[in-house]
Structure formats: structure tokens, C-alpha cells
Amino acid sequence: MQFRFLEVENKYLLDEVFAFRYKILKKSDIYKDYFLETDFDDYKEYDKFDPFAIHFAALNQDSEVCATVRLIHNCPLGYPTENDMEFNNTLFERDKLGEMSRIFVDAKYRNIKTTKIIVEELKKLLYYKMMDLGIEYTYGALEPRFVRLLKMYNMNYEIIGKKQFQGKMGLRFPCILYTKRLGEDNPEFIKERIK
């Protein structure tokens, strides 16, 4: 299976990312309340944070989007996790903060081997971008089972508040991921960056 991993830099591909996100979210019962409240007439899912995000995608051999993630940074609207959840957000310096969200993999690639390949490569792109931007920590509003899954992929988010509803997106934990720890847990990223 051949994939390409990239930062999304044109409107056409960004629209494909939004269409992919719509497809993934629409198929899940977890997000039914979100779709009841928000009408996506163009079959693309996006929100007010997307203009302040750097988007990443995995493309399959047919150049179709098969996985996505976004990194929100320097957002004047705040961040989804802190806007919708209760926890102590005074611990983090604003100019060193970001949020990772909309982490989706197409169902047909969700198996142990292929998902690992996809997550590893997207995680590497995210780590390099966080280092370039001086982002020391990133929020995440994560379902309990997703926290465990990401730990399997050496993305060791720390839970920083109680389980609660994040708007219409379901029950989640507010979490934080430290960039330094991400590098320490994935030392091959640092070695590859030095080359």
C-alpha cells in the first residue's frame, strides 16, 4: 500500500479534506447531535477554527484523502478544548500552545499495520511543524479509548480534567501533549531531522 503524506497547501485539496471529514463524521453515531445542530449543505465539514489551522493529509495510491489531522495555532478564537471544556488552562503559555484535532483515518485502512504506518508519518509531520513553530504543547479533546490508542502510537497525551461533554462532540477528556515528550518517545524523528 502506497501513501503520500503532506501539508495541505491548496484550496482544492483542502476541500477534499473537508469532504473526507464530513464522510467520516456523518457515518458515526457519536456525532449525530453535531450534525443535527450544524447544516453542511456542501457535504464538507469545517468550523471556525479551520482558517487558523495547518492541515495534514494522507493520500492513497489514487490520490484520494484517506487520513487527516489539523494543528490549530495562534488562534484569536481560543481553542476548541478550552472553549468547550472545564479545566485549568492557566498552566500553558499562549504563544507556545496549539491544538491537534480532526484526527481521522478512513475505515478501510483501520487495521493494526496500515493505521500504524499512517499515524507514524502524520505524527512526524506534526512534530516537525510544532518544532518549527515553537509549539511546546497541544490540547486535545479525546475519547477515553482514543487516549489509549494514541499511547500505543507513542503519542502520550496527559489527561488534565474530568471526562465531560465537549459541545456536541460527545464525552471526552481534556488532554495535553508535550512536544518535548513526543520527541523523546519517538527518537527516530530527532535523528531524521538532524540528517
Domains annotated on the chain, with CATH: 4-194 (3.40.630.30)
- 140 grid coordinates: 486535545
> Closest by alpha carbon to 131, among 175, 81, 183, 53?
183
Give, for all 195 residues of the chain, the pLDDT tens digit: 789 999 999 999 999 999 999 888 877 766 666 565 566 767 888 999 999 999 999 999 999 999 999 999 999 999 999 999 999 988 899 999 999 999 999 999 999 899 999 999 999 999 999 999 999 999 999 999 999 999 999 999 999 999 998 777 778 999 999 999 999 999 998 777 765
pLDDT at 190: 76
> Closest by alpha carbon to 52, among 26, 78, 23?
78
SS3 59: strand
pLDDT at 13: 97
SS3 44: coil
pLDDT at 27: 75
Cα(53)–Cα(7) distance, integer angstroms:
11
Task: Determine the straight-line distance between the first and last CA of the chain, rounded to whole angstroms.
Answer: 26
pLDDT at 38: 66
Provide the whole-model pTM.
0.92
Distance of CA 101 to the CA centre of its chain: 3
